[in-house]
Amino acid sequence: MSEIAPKELRIVGFLCNWCSYGGADTAGVSRFRQPTDLRIIRVPCSGRVDPLFIVKALLNGADGVLVSGCHPRDCHYTDGNFYARRRLEMLKQLLPYLGIDEKRFHYTWISASEGQRWQKTVTDFTNQIHKLGPLHSTTEAHSGS
Amino acid sequence: MRVGVFICHCGSNIAGTIDVAKVAAEMRKVPGVAFATNYMYTCSEPGQDEIKEAIKREKLNRIVVAACSPRMHELTFRRTIEKAGLNRYFLEMANIREHISWIGLDKEANTNKAIESVKMAVAKAMNNKPLYSQSFKVNKRVLVIGGGVAGMQAALDCADGGLEVILVEKSPSVGGMMARLDKTFPTIDCSICILGPKMVDVAQHDKIKLYAYSEVDDIKGYVGNYQIKIKKKATYVDWVKCTGCGACMEKCPAKNSYDHFNFGVAPTRAINIPFPQAIPKKAKIDPNYCRQFVKGKCGVCAKICPTGAINYEMQDEIITEDVGAIIVASGYGLVDMDKFPEYGAGRYPDVITGIQYERLLNASGPTEGHILRPSDKTEPKTVVFVSCAGSRDKSCGIPYCSNFCCMYIAKQAILTKDHIPDSQSYVFYMDIRSPGKGYDEFTRRAQEDYGAKYVRGRVSRIYPKGKKMVVVGADTLLGTQVEVEADLVVLATAVTAAPGAPQLAEKLHISYDTFGFYVEGHPKLRPVETNTAGVYLAGCAQGPKDIPASVGQGSAAASKVQALFSKDMLESDPAVAKVNENTCVGCLKCIMTCPFGAVKEKELRGGRIVANVIETVCAGCGVCTATCPCGAIQLSHFTDNQLLAEVNTICQK
Ligand SMILES: Cc1cc2nc3c(=O)[nH]c(=O)nc-3n(C[C@H](O)[C@H](O)[C@H](O)COP(=O)(O)OP(=O)(O)OC[C@H]3O[C@@H](n4cnc5c(N)ncnc54)[C@H](O)[C@@H]3O)c2cc1C
Ligand code: SF4
Ligand code: SF4
């Protein structure tokens, strides 16, 4: 690793099997370069993602969490991602009360064909987390907005 | 627990940017891992044999394969470990190719990421439980959506194989775009002469039930057992009574109705049979133009019709059909001319589209096959073809090639010369794309034998000058500006997804790309499958392609359905939700959230109410699991414990 390369941070991604996991595969097949911080967990549907997973991850060592599902209306399970959207939006509002900057959590919709969009999402989110820095070495002030 | 870890080099695809030996060495240190190795090609036969042997030799009971995406080979390795006596759900995969080795060049960072990803898979695998499929009966009927050449081929192949077919076509007749074409490249045989007999076969086949002028309204169920709601749109003509005599069409006073079949190159009547070979050959009223609907009085056709088939009160009708598989062949659309202000945006009558020109060339078209300019009905002597009108044009939002325009332009140039021997054709092109069998020879014939002048360059502007249209373009080979005074200009407008394609995809739960074309299971190896079991693709719905390719896919999709239906019973996916009746408090929140209505109330002996999952209906999304306040309903294979095991592997403070 070159000396100037910043140290990796911990980013957890929950990706739905049908769209976003496929989108990440497409980005791979197309050899779209991405930062290496992200660790991907495959779930059947973004609606499977329990907000508690995200809170647990952030409290236990993750510096950022990304959730990605199918585009609204294009859910493999009809409307699992609508449930996801409702829950994840609520979580976003809640995070500041836990003393976590809501910018450390992002959810998005990416289809299996959108490799380029996946690349951009990962790159932007990773950069954002690096800008915020590590969550656990510094004591983050209660950043309730 | 004895976990075996197998790390694949994938030649240099993985080993090139990940130190696979180091990953294996690190895995040997992980508690629970009894065996770890790296191998050149794990998916190869010797690679799979190595897994099977290691399972026996090392008494492994959970297997992790770190290789390509599970979307590629999960099934392969599930079968492998099953052959060695393990439950197939004891397999976990770590995707170290698409998600690691292919997206970064930093070997150290990649190796580190791979080690963690494999550790996550090990943690999950240690929590994996054996799951067992149930078998269920498959309904051996197939729904084909779209009656173009691809859909008809699929329907006929299925029906000839003895399957019952439901064919739903949106427009009043089957045939699709091919029914509009005059001749077809590269043989110049008459399009309707080869398509017509297929259309008749579709109508007469006792295994095919055709719903024309109908659309799929709703789809419920899963592979093997779909319930389809079909909307039969009101035609205002009773098709049981209509004999297709056409008397109504002759007398209808609404003579300026838009002709969808002819793409508006000439008007039609409000009541019409779209073309002479239409199947079914039945009349239909367009209420946007019919005076009875627009003005509230007329009734001419009702008086004329010898069988009394006209019914202005007709309503849409919903019909239900049950099927076990679906083939989607809903074809394509064409970009609107108003996208091209530089070409007049459709305002100049003598600037037309390729498909409109087909109708002018066609003997059963509005000019009976005489090429006449729309403006003054004279024969054009100079015809200019503009290729890539919208295609390969990012400013138009269409970066892709429309696949068949180069070829049909050559065809139309040849036909123009055939029809009007003293005519001269010009073709403005970007590249000539003619890679099919006999195709390149064909485009050469247009130039060498029929004298079409090919100019390499884009057309920047078209404007009227007297009776002529001036076409201004560049000749990029000579580096000069070119101006041609044309009598008629034909734009090869770009192919788009069929109107309504995304909405249909959403009903089918299949993916579509940015442009609305449906996404196949794998770009090379699963060209007609989708990622939704039981749904297959054929023709231009998947992307622009010519007739031979569309027909090929129609047959391919049919053979996939035949293979699926070769068994009487299908195996269900056992990764479904299960309720722990001891912890369920009977709040029934899961019932309200399940998108499939798979959870029902159940009364236990003591009268206590709990949730109960109907296994064959559960699709395995896990929405209920994230809903349940008690963790009582768990999606198998993706339980809280399994996912948290992965989370905890990454997040150790
Ligand atoms: C000007 C022109 C000239 C051409 N010339 C040639 C040629 O010479 N040789 C050649 O090989 N190819 C040629 N082509 C290409 C050819 O038209 C296509 O390859 C072919 O029509 C593809 O068949 P398809 O069945 O996939 O789609 P389509 O022909 O588009 O058929 C799709 C059918 O599905 C129906 N449909 C759409 N949506 C729905 C829905 N939601 N529900 C139910 N039904 C629906 C449509 O009404 C249509 O009937 C030409 C194309 C153009 C534009
Ligand atoms: S949500 Fe949970 S507790 Fe409530 S009924 Fe369903 S399984 Fe039982
Ligand atoms: S996992 Fe739960 S919510 Fe999803 S289909 Fe099955 S029972 Fe319904």
Q: Nearest CA of chain A to the CA of B514: how many Å?
A: 8
Mean pLDDT, chain A, whole residue set: 89
Going from the Cα of B330 to the center of ligand 1, the distance in angstroms, rounded, reads 8
Interchain pair A56, B638: CB under 8 A: no
| Residues with Cβ within 8 Å of residue B516, at least 6 apart in sequence | B496, B497, B498, B501, B502, B505
Mean pLDDT, chain B, whole residue set: 95
| Contact predicate B326/B145, CB 8 Å | yes
DSSP assignment string, B21-74: HHHHHHHHTSTTEEEEEEES-TTSHHHHHHHHHHHHHTT--EEEEEES-HHHHH
**Where residue B221 falls among pLDDT bands split at 50, 70, 90?**
confident
Amino acid at A69: G
Q: Nearest CA of chain B to the CA of A37: how many Å?
A: 8
Q: Using CB atoms, which residue from B106, B511, B650 is nearest to A36?
A: B106
Task: Give percent above pLDDT 90 in chain B.
Answer: 93
In A6-45, the residues whose Cβ lies within 8 Å of chain B are 8, 10, 12, 17-19, 21-22, 24-25, 27-29, 31-36, 39-45
Residue B441 has pLDDT above 70, yes or no: yes
Residue nearest atom 8 in ligand 3 by C-alpha distance: B594
Interchain pair A31, B102: CB under 8 A: yes
Q: Is residue A96 part of a domain?
A: yes
pLDDT in tens, B385-408: 999 999 999 988 999 999 999 999
Residue A2 has pLDDT above 50, yes or no: no
Cβ B411 under 6 angstroms from ligand 1: yes
Q: What is the mean pLDDT of residues A112-123?
A: 95
Q: Is residue A1 part of a domain?
A: no
In A78-137, the residues whose Cβ lies within 8 Å of chain B are 78-80, 83, 87, 111-114, 119, 136
Residue A143 has pLDDT above 60, yes or no: no
| Residues with Cβ within 8 Å of residue B338, at least 6 apart in sequence | B345, B346
In B112-151, the residues whose Cβ lies within 8 Å of chain A are 112-113, 116-117, 120
For residue B448, the SS3 value is helix
CA distances from B471 to B185, B276, B395 (A): 26, 36, 21
Amino acid at A70: C
ipTM confidence score = 0.91
**Where residue A73 falls among pLDDT bands split at 50, 70, 90?**
confident
Residue A141 has pLDDT above 80, yes or no: no
Q: What is the mean pLDDT of residues B118-123?
A: 97
Q: Is residue A117 part of a domain?
A: yes
pLDDT in tens, A21-68: 999 999 999 999 999 999 999 999 999 999 999 999 999 999 999 999
Report the greatest alpha carbon distance in chain A: 48
Task: Give percent above pLDDT 70 in chain B.
Answer: 100
Q: Nearest CA of chain B to the CA of A86: how many Å?
A: 12
DSSP assignment string, A46-109: GGG--HHHHHHHHHTT-SEEEEEEPPTT-BTTBSHHHHHHHHHHHHHHHGGGGT--GGGEEEEE
Q: Is residue A145 part of a domain?
A: no
Q: Using CB atoms, which residue from A32, A36, A42 is nearest to B110?
A: A36
Residues B292 and B312: their CA atoms lie apart, in Å, by 8
Determine which of A15, A34, A42 to mutate to test the interface with B (most B C-beta atoms within 10 Å). A42
Q: Is residue A6 part of a domain?
A: no
Q: What is the mean pLDDT of residues B92-104?
A: 96
pLDDT in tens, B503-523: 999 899 888 998 999 999 888
Atom of ligand 1 nearest to the CA of B176: 49
Residues B546 and B463: their CA atoms lie apart, in Å, by 32
Q: Is residue A63 part of a domain?
A: yes
The CATH number covering residue A54 comes to: 3.40.50
pLDDT in tens, B146-158: 999 999 999 999 9
Residue B113 has pLDDT above 50, yes or no: yes
Residues B129 and B634: their CA atoms lie apart, in Å, by 12
Query: Which of chain B's residues have a Cβ under 8 Å away from the Cβ of A24?
Result: 98-99
pLDDT in tens, B410-439: 999 999 999 999 999 999 999 999 999 999
Element (H, E) at B469: strand B468-475
Q: How would you label B374-402 residue by residue, b for 16+ Cβ within 10 Å and e otherwise?
A: beeeeebebbbbbbbbbbbbeeeebebbb
Domains, chain B, in order of start with CATH, read 3-127 (3.40.50), 141-233+316-331+498-564 (3.50.50.60), 333-496 (3.50.50.60), 577-636 (3.30.70.20)
Q: Is the peptide bond before B287 cis (omega within 30 degrees of 0)?
A: no
Cβ B632 under 6 angstroms from ligand 3: no
DSSP code of residue B98? I
CA distances from B64 to B3, B87, B97, B218, B566 (A): 7, 13, 15, 40, 33
In B541-600, the residues whose Cβ lies within 8 Å of chain A are 575, 593, 595-596
**Where residue A137 falls among pLDDT bands split at 50, 70, 90?**
low
| Residues with Cβ within 8 Å of residue A138, at least 6 apart in sequence | none
Report chain A's C-alpha Rg in angstroms.
15
The secondary structure of chain B in percent helix, strand, coil, rounded to multiples of 5, reads: 30, 25, 45
pLDDT in tens, B34-75: 999 999 999 999 999 999 999 999 999 999 999 999 998 999
CA distances from B24 to B32, B33, B38, B98, B393 (A): 14, 10, 6, 19, 48
The secondary structure of chain A in percent helix, strand, coil, rounded to multiples of 5, reads: 45, 15, 40
Q: Using CB atoms, which residue from A53, A61, A80 is nearest to B623?
A: A80
Residues B110 and B117: their CA atoms lie apart, in Å, by 10
Determine which of A50, A63, A88, A120 to mutate to test the interface with B (most B C-beta atoms within 10 Å). A50
Which one of the ligands is nearest to B639 CA?
3
Into how many domains does chain A fold? 1
| Contact predicate B267/B258, CB 8 Å | yes
Residues B479 and B477: their CA atoms lie apart, in Å, by 6
Residues B308 and B219: their CA atoms lie apart, in Å, by 35
Cβ B413 under 6 angstroms from ligand 2: no
Residue B290 burial (C-beta neighbours within 10 Å; 0-12, 13-18, 19+): buried
Q: Is the peptide bond before B186 cis (omega within 30 degrees of 0)?
A: yes
Question: What is the predicted pLDDT for the residue at A138?
Answer: 47
Range of the domain at A15: 11-140
For residue B83, the SS3 value is helix
| Contact predicate B490/B385, CB 8 Å | yes
For residue A17, the SS3 value is coil
Residue nearest atom 5 in ligand 2 by C-alpha distance: B588
Going from the Cα of B29 to the center of ligand 1, the distance in angstroms, rounded, reads 59
Element (H, E) at A34: none
Query: Which of chain A's residues have a Cβ under 8 Å away from the Cβ of B519?
Result: 111-113
pLDDT in tens, B242-283: 999 999 999 999 999 999 999 999 999 999 999 999 999 999
Q: List residues bridging with A65 in a β-sheet.
A: A12, A105
Q: List residues bridging with A70 in a β-sheet.
A: none
Interchain pair A5, B638: CB under 8 A: no
| Contact predicate B160/B176, CB 8 Å | no
Determine which of B119, B524, B594, B651 to mutate to test the interface with A (most A C-beta atoms within 10 Å). B651
Interchain pair A39, B113: CB under 8 A: yes
3-state SS, one letter per residue, for B266-284: CCECCEECCCCCCCCCCCE
